[in-house]
A and B are shown apart, each in its own frame.
Chain A
Amino acid sequence: MKSTLFRLLSAAIIGAAALIPSPAQAAKVRVVTTLTDLADFVREVGGDHVEVFSLATGVEDTHGVPMKPSFVPVMNRADLVVCVGFDCEHAFLPALLEASKNPRIQYGKPGYVDCSLGIAPVDVPKSTDHSEGDVHPYGNPHYMLDPVLAKTAIQNICQGLVTVAPQYQADFTRNRDAYLAKLDAKIAQWQQESKALKGVQFVSYHEHWSYFAERFGLKYIGTIEVKPGIDPTPRHIENLVTEMRADHAQMVVREPQFPEKVPALIARQTGATLVKLPIMPGGVPNTSTYIEMMDYIIHTMVAAEAKRG
């Protein structure tokens, strides 16, 4: 009896010892970003101190990233969630945040990084009721296609990383400065290369390009969608074609997540050049970083314009 008790007690002690967790190792900061451009920035600023997971892969509509349950455990363990802001991710982020059951990354908490802080929005709607379609009440959220405004996002990301991992502040700051210097050099290059695009008039499927057009001097004359999230009607297509012909619009931009049929039809009827342009890294092949994506966009538009002669 005594020996049995002794055996049981020893087994219990061995079992308990196995369950005691070992001291925490120096852990990387776990960051979840909504879109791939943010993931690229986090990797640049975070360096070896971060583990990054992007909910989008680059090919999705930014407003339609699927809410996969497989995202939930990743977000549950995240230290930081980074989003574009201006309600860009309203279709999937709020539900995922709630399902994640991670109090550290909820809206307003230090682990929630809104990259739109400090950016003056354009296209702020006068009315937010549904007669205007799926509008963004706080303004156009697609500022990341303006590399100058993307620098603000990078600053916000750096600040967010420092908040949750202050011990790496020096590294984050050094990485941020190095990347901003690299980005500044590329911005100067893009400004130079895009001189050929000054005054080019174009339409796109969705209103992604307001900030880009303003930065690089293009004229953005409309969208193929009737309203945000509302597919074009025959009447709208007819009116758009008429307007484009009157303005001698040169380009039709199709984002890869939209069907080609209507943009191609409009391009044929107006004589404009149809170009396919990504809106985040990974949207087309060989654009795995933000800089590669912007290179692709500028070079494709310049080449299309050059081909028109």
Chain B
Amino acid sequence: MNLKYLIGWSSALCLSAIIAQAQETNEVDKLDQRLKQIQESFEKQQREMRENFERLIREQQAQIESLKKELANIPTNAVAAPTNAAPAAAVTPEQLKELNTKVDGVVDAQRQVRPGAFNPSIGLVGETVFSYRSKGSDQIGTDRPGGFDAFQRSVELNVAAAVDPFAKGYAVLNASADAQTGEATLGVEEAALQTTSLPWNLELKAGRFFGEFGKLSYIHDHELPFVNRPLALDQYIGGESRTDGAQLNWLLPVPHYVSLTTGAGVGFGGDSPLNNPGAYRALSGFNYYGRLSTYFDLTPNIQLETGISGLINPSTQDRGGVLVQPDGSTLTEKERRVAGLDLKVSYVPLRNNQFQRLDWGTEVLYSDSRYLFNPSGSLDPANPTHTAGWPAPSPDDYYGNVGSVGLYSYATYKWHRQWSAGFLFDYMQSAENHNDVTVAYSPYITWALSHWNQIRLQYTHTDHNAVSGLHPDDAIYLQWAWIIGAHSHGWQAR
């Protein structure tokens, strides 16, 4: 009973507070409206000032050109000759030259802006990988041949510009040489629209893009800290995390950096096969993914960034078809799930960060895909099951999950503006059989002649794989990557 009265009085008090607050809120609303009016008036004045300023610039440019012509016509000995004017008023040739130089500078600076004002920023990346592998591709399971190779891996055109005050658009078109024919067919790696003015710290990206999963999945090949993408990312994600869909990022409105990204798309992984939707794709055929990340300044010079990521495709619809195993059995994928934990610690001394830096990055991934197992290998690869529900096509077939762990860890030390070196460790259990383990070790050294020109030498030893039968392999890579045109230090490049 007493409790009832207490709650009742509390409610009444709260209601009174709400009413008082509402009255105060009314006053605040009125002030807010007045402020908005003042702001609108300011913005209107600013627009007018900007238009006037641009008109003034045009008029002044015309005047400058006219003055320059006049200056050019003034003979210098006429200035040097004594006149009736006081010596202090005479303009010397040096002063004229200085004025001319200043005027030239202003005009040149304006010219840098005006002609390019409406062009998008355009850049081109070229990347060639020369290599030698000790075994043939049939023994090491690669697309490219073993032995000596020269692979034009990237001819990448980047274009970006503002679409309007609300969004920017960008595209990345890439051509990569085919292993068999050598032809480099241009493909769209990314082409997306990204909002720039959503409220509540939101950002929406839609189109074709690299979804945010982990730390390196959405980094283009030529920007990786080493030559080749880590094995776990190659197999569990399928290379770069390309998807066709939409992604929403939310910067949490708290004093500490916390970023949440979530998205959905058709396909996930540029080298990963798509689902086989047949005549109709249900929502379960999409890939759903997300990442939660945060950051800490451990000291002014030491940074830590970490995140957790998840990906699920509830119905992969026999993605990749019937997968034949070394023992002759087959698998057909029904559901795809990947989880990841990423961590990067960086030592970046503020005073000479252009000349010294140490990065340690690690990602651990867990793949938990669901398969239809066909131990006898009787499933016809040309006619995989397309079933509604989960019936087994033959009595000995069964459904099961394969849990596999993959990880990579690397450390790169930079001791000079141009030089850095590091080591990469790869460990991967196959997503189809966690007893099928691949381990690789890769020391590398990079010479960055400039921001836009770098050469990297890497050695990779891959251990023997007892389950798959793949041979141990030693490879040497020489990667040369260069950029022409616009270059931007995007957020991902930090």
Which residues in A have some Cβ–Cβ distance to B below 8 Å? 3, 6-7, 9-11, 13-14, 16-17, 20, 22-24, 57, 59-61, 64, 66-70, 72-73, 76, 90-92, 94-96, 98-101, 103, 106, 110, 120-124, 126, 128, 130, 133-134, 137-139, 163, 166, 229-231, 256-259
Do A256 and B351 touch (CB < 8 A)? yes
- Closest CB in chain A relative to B121 CB, distance in Å: 11
Please pick, from A11, A17, A72, A103, the residue contacting B18 in the complex, using a CB distance under 8 A: A17
- Whether the Cβ atoms of A94 and B489 lie closer than 8 Å is yes
- Please encode chain B, from 323 to 337, with 1 for each CB lying within 8 Å of some chain A CB and 0 for all others: 000000000000000
CB-based contact B21/A76 at 8 Å: no
Q: Can you give 11 A-B contacts (C-beta < 8 A)? A: A13-B18, A14-B10, A14-B11, A14-B14, A61-B352, A61-B354, A95-B494, A99-B251, A126-B108, A231-B417, A258-B355
Pair B43/A124 contact, Cβ less than 8 Å: no
Interface residue? B84 (CB, 8 A): no
Q: Does B105 contact A103, Cβ atoms closer than 8 Å?
A: no
B residues in contact (CB < 8 Å) with A: 4, 7-8, 10-11, 14-15, 17-18, 21, 24-25, 28, 38, 42-43, 46, 102, 104-106, 108-109, 112-113, 196-198, 201-203, 251, 253-257, 259, 295-297, 300, 303, 305, 348, 350-355, 416-418, 450-452, 484, 488-491, 493-494
| Cα distance A133–B449 in the bound complex, in angstroms | 11
Contact residues of B: prevailing secondary structure: mixed
Is chain A's interface secondary structure helix, strand, loop, or mixed overall? loop
| Total A-B Cβ pairs within 8 A | 148
Whether B251 lies near A73 (C-beta < 8 A) is: yes
- Verify A17–B42 contact, CB threshold 8 A: no
For A72, the chain B residues whose CB sits under 8 A away are 251, 257
B491–A60 touching, CB < 8 Å: no
With a cutoff of 8 Å between Cβ atoms, the chain A residues found around residue B201 in the complex are 76, 101
A130 close to B450 (CB less than 8 A): yes
Q: A68-B297, A257-B354 are in contact. Are A124 and B109 (CB under 8 A)?
A: yes
- A60–B450 alpha-carbon span in the complex (Å): 19
Q: In the complex, are the beta carbons of A73 and B353 less than 8 A apart?
A: no
Give A163 to B416 CA distance when docked, in angstroms.
Answer: 44
A11 and B8 alpha carbons, distance in the complex (Å): 10
Q: Which residue of A lies closest to B449 (CB)?
A: A230
Q: Within the complex, which residue of A7, A130, A230 is in contact with B7, where a contact is CB–CB below 8 Å?
A: A7
Distance from B57 Cβ to chain A, minimum over Cβ atoms (Å): 12
| A13-B11 contact in complex given A67-B489, A137-B112, A138-B109, C-beta closer than 8 Å | yes
Please determine whether A64 and B354 come into contact, CB atoms closer than 8 angstroms: yes
CB A121 to nearest CB in B, in angstroms, measures 5
Bound CA span A163–B42, Å: 8
Given contacts A72-B251, A124-B105, contact A10 B489 (CB under 8 A): no
Task: Tell whether, in the assembled complex, residue A10 and residue B7 are in contact, meaning their CB atoms are under 8 Å apart.
Answer: yes
CB contact between A230 and one of B102, B353, B450, B489 (< 8 Å): that residue: B450
Q: Contact at B112–A128, with CB atoms within 8 Å?
A: yes
Q: For A257, what are the chain B residues with a Cβ–Cβ distance below 8 Å?
A: 351-352, 354
Judging by beta carbons under 8 Å apart, are A110 and B112 in contact? no
Q: Which of these, A3, A16, A73, contacts B257 with CB under 8 Å? A: A73
Report chain A residues within 8 Å CB of B10.
10, 14
Report which of A13, A99, A103 forms a contact with B15, defined as CB distance below 8 A: A13
- Select from chain B the residue with minimum beta-carbon distance to A126: B108
**Across-interface contacts of A92 in B (CB, < 8 A):** 489
7 extra interchain contacts, Cβ-Cβ under 8 A, other than A130-B452, A229-B451?
Answer: A20-B18, A72-B257, A73-B251, A96-B491, A124-B112, A126-B108, A138-B109
Residues of A contacting B494 with CB < 8 Å?
A: 66-69, 95
Chain A proximity of B122: nearest CB distance (Å): 13
Contact across chains for A23 and B202 when beta carbons are under 8 A apart = no
Q: Which residues of A sit under 8 angstroms from B251, Cβ to Cβ?
A: 72-73, 76, 99-101
In order of increasing CB-CB distance, the 5 nearest A-B pairs are: A69-B295, A67-B494, A69-B257, A59-B351, A124-B108
Asked whether, in the complex, the Cβ of B46 is within 8 Å of the Cβ of A24, the reply is: no
Specify which of B46, B105, B450 is in contact with A139 (CB 8 Å cutoff).
B105
B257 proximity list for chain A (CB < 8 A): 69-70, 72-73
A10 and B355 within 8 A (CB): no
What chain B residues lie within 8 Å of A258 (beta carbons)? 352, 355
A128-B112, A138-B113 known; A122 vs B491 contact (CB < 8 Å) = no
- With known contacts A60-B350, A69-B295, A99-B491, A17–B17 Cβ distance under 8 A: yes
Central interface residue in A9, A72, A123, A134, by most chain B CB within 10 Å: A72
A residues near B452, Cβ cutoff 8 Å = 130
The answer to whether A60 touches B353 (Cβ under 8 A) is: yes
Q: Which residues of A contact B491 (CB under 8 A)?
A: 67, 95-96, 98-99
Complex contact B303–A6 (CB within 8 A): no
> Are B105 and A101 within 8 A (Cβ)?
no
Q: Is the CB of B21 within 8 A of A73?
A: no
A contact residues around B253 at 8 Å (CB): 76
CA distance A259 to B415 in the complex (A): 11
